[in-house]
Chain A
Amino acid sequence: MTKDFVCIACPESCRLRVNGGGGCVSVEGNRCKRGYEHGVSEYARPMRMLTSTVAVSGGILRRLPVIADGGIPKDKIWECLNVLYKIRVKAPVTIGGVIVENILNTGVNIVASRSMNAVKI
């Protein structure tokens, strides 16, 4: 089977054509290794970065921004968001601190993308 993608590895936006079948995958149109890797991954199972926020108490702000420490399968993004919608953490938080470990068994952690001190009352 042949699938066409636009590479999102860098701004160059190469048009990729990926041929698969019989456990063998070939990528055309890529101009670098990252493009090849993106083509292979996009063909097999598209992955995306996920960034969002979670509720935070006791900090200077009401929301704590978070980022996935690796790609998440595109078809699991909504499920992951549903987990994040329900979370509330407490300040202080340090950047890189794990907010959700191995979210939905993807092997990816959701970590804080900023530090937030606790506010003294």
Chain B
Amino acid sequence: MKTEFTDIAVIGGGPAGLAAALEAKRAGVKRVVVLERDVELGGILRQCIHDGFGIHRFKKRMSGNEYAQAFIDETEKSDIKAYADTTALELTADRKIYACNSRDGMLEIRAGAVIMTTGCRERTASQALIYGERPAGALTAGAVQRYINIDGYLPGKRAVVLGSGDIGLIMARRMTLEGIEVEGVYEVMSSPGGLTRNIVQCLDDYGIPLHLSATVTKIEGRDRVRAVTVAKTDGSRRPIAGTERVVECDLLVLAVGLIPENELLIKAGAEIDPRTKGAVLNDRFETSLSGIFAAGNAAAVFDLVDYVSVSGEIAARGAVEFLRENTSDKNTENASGGADGYVPVIAGENINFVIPQRVRKGAARDLAFFMRVKTSAPRAELRCLCDGAVAEKKVCRYIAPPEMLSMTPCCAAEREIKIDAVNE
């Protein structure tokens, strides 16, 4: 087995991983390795051909590809060692990675620090509680996106979309543009999951109906999807008996949520936050395993790629700091020193979750928090309270659960940090 020694190993070559690798290089790290299981770098952005990416970072609307290419080009100009078509199989708490590919066979990578940027997965039909036969043609939105945008196949002729988050809306438009008839988008909740502008430019522009408080209850067809049964849902999202309707289609597109992919971290023993389904992170995006960091959609589903890249850079700076601590004899104040060295970050009443979940005690630091609110409001004040005192506040004109928010206070906490959004 080939063994490689590196300063920083990044698992996942998407927008978080590439941003992390490049930030590590900028900080002067000599050896940076990126492992990517797909045949080329870029992650999920390779198949996101629609525009709307990069508004924060590049101040223009780019397609997902263009955003990815900017990072890929910079990576290729650097001496970052990228292993494409290489799957990481195991991570150990002492920062060994076992991976394989068809050129090297098995690989062992021993890293000074590891950054996990493994992204997320889509929820599937059985997770959406749809039962019945399991014919071809019930696909996740991401699978359909890949078939159409990368492989050049149309996976159906008449589609039903379940889920009105931005991914479902964007795929409804994309399928329409490629000649697949979209019968409708069904949403179990009473309000759309995606942004209003996507309802306008993806559905309204093409006359695609949106059915709120409705869901798919059954898939019909043995070898191929022949139809789905849809039904209205009540306030607790349960189908209402007697409202069933059979819709003929040969494609069911499931856009029913994303789950961070953390199998390697879980097996290595990292603590997972049940709310984000990502690792519990400290302020430098380090997991409960010393020297192992996490960022991007593996840490929490972000929606906004600009934030994904920022989180990768935070983790990279953390990893660089960790490497420096480990090479100096002095016990620096940055060392985390176990659970006692942390103060908790508490999500206020209208906050669904915040990452990072804890912050190192003591000296004043520049912190970055990402959070999602529970309810929408036209105007709200975001507050970061450090040991009860306001460390930062900002007024947001529009907040809603689908949109991740961020705050960057500088504070020294001894007891706790609390983040809240107070509607005005």
B228 to chain A: closest CB distance in Å? 27
- Beyond contacts A53-B49, A115-B69: 15 other A-B pairs, Cβ-Cβ < 8 A, are A8-B197, A12-B397, A13-B195, A13-B398, A52-B49, A53-B149, A60-B40, A61-B150, A67-B51, A67-B63, A67-B66, A81-B177, A113-B49, A113-B62, A115-B73
Contact with A along B393-409 (1 / 0, CB 8 A): 00001101001000000
Bound form: Cα–Cα A61–B47 in Å: 11
CA distance A6 to B205 in the complex (A): 12
Which residues in chain B, 1-50, are within 8 Å of chain A measured between CB atoms? 39-40, 46, 49-50
Cβ contacts A to B, 15 pairs, < 8 Å: A9-B197, A11-B195, A13-B197, A51-B51, A52-B177, A52-B178, A53-B49, A53-B149, A60-B40, A61-B152, A62-B151, A63-B150, A65-B63, A81-B177, A114-B46
A51 to B197, CA, bound (A): 16
Determine which of A12, A60, A65, A77 lies in contact with B65 in the assembled complex, contact meaning CB atoms within 8 Å.
A65
- Which residues 1-47 of A sit at the B interface, judged by CB distance below 8 A? 5-13, 31
Q: Which residues of A contact B403 (CB under 8 A)?
A: 11
Q: How far is the CA of A13 from the CA of B49 in the complex (A)?
A: 23
Q: Which of A9, A63, A81, A114 has the most CB of B within 10 A?
A: A114
Q: Which bracket fits the contact residues of B?
A: 20 to 34
Rounded to whole Å, the gap between the CB of B399 and the closest CB of chain A is: 10
A residues less than 8 Å from B39 (CB atoms): 60
B69→A114 contact, CB < 8 A: yes
Alpha-carbon gap, A51 to B202, bound state (A): 12
Once A6-B196, A48-B201 are accepted as A-B contacts, the answer to whether A63 and B63 lie under 8 Å apart by CB is no
Contact of B68 with A by CB under 8 A: yes
Residue numbers of A with Cβ under 8 A of B are 5-13, 31, 48-49, 51-53, 55, 60-63, 65-67, 74, 77, 81, 95, 113-115
Q: Do A51 and B150 touch (CB < 8 A)?
A: no
Residues of B44-101 contacting chain A, CB below 8 A:
46, 49-51, 61-63, 65-66, 68-69, 73
B residues near A12, Cβ cutoff 8 Å: 397-398
A-chain residues with CB within 8 Å of residue B73 when the two chains form the complex: 115
Query: When chains A and B are docked, how far (Å) is the Cα of A48 from the Cα of B177?
Result: 13
For the complex, what is the distance from the CA of A61 to the CA of B151, rounded to whole Å? 7
- Per the bound structure, the CA–CA distance linking A55 and B61 in Å amounts to 24
**CB-based contact B197/A63 at 8 Å:** no
In the complex, the answer to whether B200 meets A8 with C-beta atoms within 8 Å is: yes
| Smallest beta-carbon distance A53→chain B, Å | 6
B66 pairs with A113, CB closer than 8 A: yes
Given contacts A13-B195, A49-B51, contact A113 B65 (CB under 8 A): yes
- Given A11-B398, A67-B51: A55 and B149 within 8 A (CB)? no
B267 nearest CB across to chain A (Å)? 32
Q: Which chain A residues lie closer than 8 Å to B50 at the CB level?
A: 51
- Distance of B397 from chain A, by nearest CB (Å): 6
CB distance from A41 to the nearest CB of B (A): 13
Bound Cα distance A63, B65 (Å) = 12
- Is B398 touching A114 in the complex (CB atoms < 8 A)? no
Shortest 4 CB-CB distances between A and B: which pairs?
A13-B196, A8-B197, A65-B49, A114-B65
A51 to B67 alpha-carbon distance, docked (Å): 14
Q: Which of B148, B177, B200 contacts A6 (CB 8 A)?
A: B200
Complex Cα–Cα for A7 and B197 (A): 7
Closest A residue to B195 by beta carbon equals A11
